A and B are shown apart, each in its own frame.
Chain A
Amino acid sequence: MSFVEYGDTIKDGDTAIVFLGHESMFPVKVQHGTVTQTKYGVIRHSTDLIGKRYGSKVICSKGGWVFILHPTPELWTMNLPHRTQILYSTDISIITMMLELKPGSIVCESGTGSGSLSHALIRTVAPSGHLYTVEFHQQRAQKARDEFREHGVEHLVTVTNQDVCKNGFGVSNIADAVFLDIPSPWEAIGHAKSALKAEGGRICSFSPCIEQVQRTCLAMEEYGFTEINTLEILLRVYNVRTVSLQIPDLGKAAEDNSSTGLDSSNPSHQGNPCANLQQGTVQFKSGVPLREVVGHTGYLTFATKS
């Protein structure tokens, strides 16, 4: 296994995802002789994991079961240890497409943060591309290096511990794309421009506040970037539910059973076997929005160097 190449069976040293149920999972480093505790009991790596196929159901000591999943950047994003606020897959997907990333792309990123976006970038540019990521926090930079090694992608990434606003990305004229997620991106636009290939490339900056966007756009314009475009993407998740609605009693039922005018009163209607006017309810499937959703992550500003 690696984050850029699927493997079939679980091996010693792999990072696997233990899936307990809806939205409940955690990553585990597979090691001979190690055990992992879950609410369903113990998982013994040597006997329960190593040699099994990814996607297997594993019975834990108390009889409950979990699924063991192959890691992907998306699963990692949902489960990684937070060292900073992270970018989630919804933003990551539009960033990847709008930066036109593909195998072979050279990308610069700052800051590395918790490595959520980094893993996705590496996955996309592999096997022939490279990620240069800059993190000014020494401990975070080191933690990211360790993770990349554990995940089998260290050859695709260079982590530099410096201040991108002062010292830039440590490379020049080689990048196809630059991504910025720092508090003052406008101070790094000049460095971004020189990191990009002389022939051009794409840039993206992520900022939660509109004032940051404002300053960034001005800086981009000043440095000659074109196609400056700011957008925001929001995810709406729906729960699939069977909902019952009660039929109001208008005193008609006794008079005429079949004239309510509702679909469900039609006996030939196959889709609603549960509809039952006698009991006074109609059932249907609905995609119900979550009660509370993320309303804002950040503005994404894209531009082209040409």
Chain B
Amino acid sequence: AMEGGPGARIREGDCAVLKRDEVFKAVSVLRRRKIIFEKQWFYLDNAIGHIYGTTFEVTSGGNLQPKQEVEEATTDTKEAGTDNRNIVDDGKSQKLTHDDIKALKDKGIKGQEIVQQLIENSTTFRDKTEFAQDKYIKKKKKKYEAVITIVKPSTRILSTMYYAREPGKINHLRYDTLAQMLTLGNVHAGNKMIVMETCAGLVLGAVMERMGGYGSIIQMYPGGGPVRAATSCFGFPKPFFDNLHEFPLSKVQSLLSGTFTTETLPAEAEENALVEEESNGLSEEKQTSLQETEEPAPETLMEISPTEEQDTVDNNAEDVEFKENKEKENVREKQIKQWERRKKLKEAAALLREKNADGLIVASKFHPTPLLLSLLEFVAPSRPFVVYCQYKEPLLECYTKLRERGGVINLKLSETWLRNYQVLPDRSHPKLTMSGGGGYLLSGITVILEKGTSDSSSSEALKMEEPSSKRCKLQDLPC
């Protein structure tokens, strides 16, 4: 029923995600644009019109062709050894040489057939155990069979992709931690949410997905503008942005003290975005400015690793007159834009002043304590808040400061561990590696803060902390 649900078709201009095994890459679907993914190059032209979730094979000339489900042609009676006592690694078990394999590839022979040839030319294959044969085939398939699945972006896919490819850009926020945040924050349709993040807009996108265009979001941003590179990968429909507001962090204090004006806007986003080179994420303003300077298209912004991309630069001869006109246009556009920004800032300020937000989500590179102490002012009582931090120690301090402040209950400092499994007949076990760290969360619920009586709640906090710390002393320090 919904746009972008399952069964949606791949259209030109869409934001899509390429998938090969467990590797993802976000791209925008454009004709005649070379994509490089997992050492393969190809064009997405032929994918247009197919249903999301379709698996394609890369054929010669970089064309994509939907992969037919082939029945595994393993009709010949299987032969396998029982153990590896007689298998010797002499480096000569494969009779095809590197040059032979390269020749096969150059001839444009299908990956599937190359794998078959490798098996036939392996002298040890038949002596390997059945399990080892499976493993061998899997490994070769991975190398020679170039299949790519094109999937619809979602929080699941984008958060997995970012954690694997660009963890630094999202402060190492692992996807299961993000999942906890959305649940602990009771993020759902109709909420009025405050989001403060420096995770390339991934957390914002996750919140937007869960709100489905119902309700409103106020994004608090540091510097000159919010970073939304990851947000743009979601491909949200336009109406989702109607109730997305933004407010500069540098104006929070003045808003709280009542001296807020829109006279001085924060530094222009264009300049700021340049400073924010490291983030690779770009505010909408910068996207526009790049388009104005005739960058090919927004997909360069979307590419998670632009280094992989071979830019097809169109070297149009520059028309001077055209450029002058364009400059005048730019000045006018800038004025309009500034006026619009001012108007939007006023709207966001008005929303915050109501101090009735339904939740607060913080996931940034900044120290969480000052953010929490200020931003909680805008949240209604009996609403959840969640703070992410890559490190535990700042959250310890934040916990203590929140206790002193009062107005919060049910404070919980937590972390999740994620373990993946290989499940195969007679070969099930946890995967060899697991992620060492996906960050920490501090969550709680706001209550009405009675001015002047916050002492009593902090004494309650001390009451709660003391017996256990005494217990700690006794346990840890017998003396």
Contacts and interface: CB of A to CB of B under 8 A. Distances in A.
Interface of A: 4-6, 8, 19, 21-22, 53-57, 67-70, 72-74, 89-90, 92-94, 96-98, 100, 102-104, 120, 123-124, 126-128, 176, 197-201, 210, 213-214, 217-218, 228-246, 285-288, 299, 301, 304, 306
Given A19-B409, A199-B51, 15 more contacts: A8-B356, A21-B460, A53-B381, A55-B445, A57-B447, A69-B382, A74-B184, A98-B156, A102-B209, A126-B188, A127-B189, A199-B6, A232-B419, A238-B392, A241-B468
A54 B477 CA distance: 43
Contacts of A96: 179, 182-183
A167 B432 CA distance: 40
B212 A104 contact: yes
A239 B211 contact: no
Give the secondary structure class of B's interface.
mixed
A53 B448 contact: yes
Interface residues of B, number: 76
Contact of B450 (A22, A54, A57, A229): A57
B1 A104 contact: yes
B420 A97 contact: no
14 contacts: A55-B381, A56-B381, A57-B447, A72-B186, A93-B176, A97-B155, A126-B188, A200-B51, A228-B423, A232-B418, A238-B414, A246-B479, A287-B396, A287-B413
A235 B414 contact: yes
Given A69-B445, A103-B188, A301 B212 contact: no
Nearest to A199: B7
A213 B428 contact: yes
Contact of B189 (A57, A94, A126, A245): A126
A234 B417 CA distance: 5
Contact of B188 (A93, A124, A213): A124
Given A55-B446, A299-B421, A238 B415 contact: yes
Contacts, number: 207
A200 to B, nearest CB: 5
Centre residue among B1, B182, B212 by max chain A CB count within 10 A? B212
B211 A103 contact: yes
A122 to B, nearest CB: 10
A301 B412 CA distance: 28
B469 A102 contact: no
Contacts of A231: 418-421
Nearest to A211: B428
A298 to B, nearest CB: 12
B6 A201 contact: yes
B396 A285 contact: yes
Contacts of B7: 197-200
B428 A19 contact: no
B184 A55 contact: no
Interface in B395-452: 395-397, 399-400, 409-410, 412-421, 423, 425, 428, 440, 445-448, 450
